[in-house]
Amino acid sequence: MAISANKYDIDVSGTDASVKKIMGSDPRRISEIAIDINMNKNIEEKDRRRLERAALACPVHKSLHPDLVKKIRFFYS
């Protein structure tokens, strides 16, 4: 997201995220992650879409195992 924010000159100051892991069993491992990303409400709609696409296309997101359920939510307040 930071790369897109810099490319399009989008102010993402104050952005934070909370991450919650949900454990599975047999085998014991993380089966799901829930990520809430909190961003500034003043970000324009077109820039929100850019940032959300960037977050979902990042190398870390793509490196996670395909069986891992990823619930990512974006909030603007």
Domains of the chain: 2-76 (3.30.300.20)
> Which residues lie closer than 8 Å to 9 by C-beta, 6 or more apart?
none
**Do 12 and 5 meet the contact criterion of CB atoms below 8 Å apart?**
yes
For the chain, what is the largest distance between any 2 Cα atoms, rounded to a whole number of angstroms? 46
**How does strand 29-39 pair with strand 69-76?**
parallel
Here the tokens at position 52 are: 């959300």
pLDDT in tens, 12-46: 999 999 999 999 998 899 999 999 999 999 999 99
Which pLDDT does position 50 carry in this prediction?
A: 97
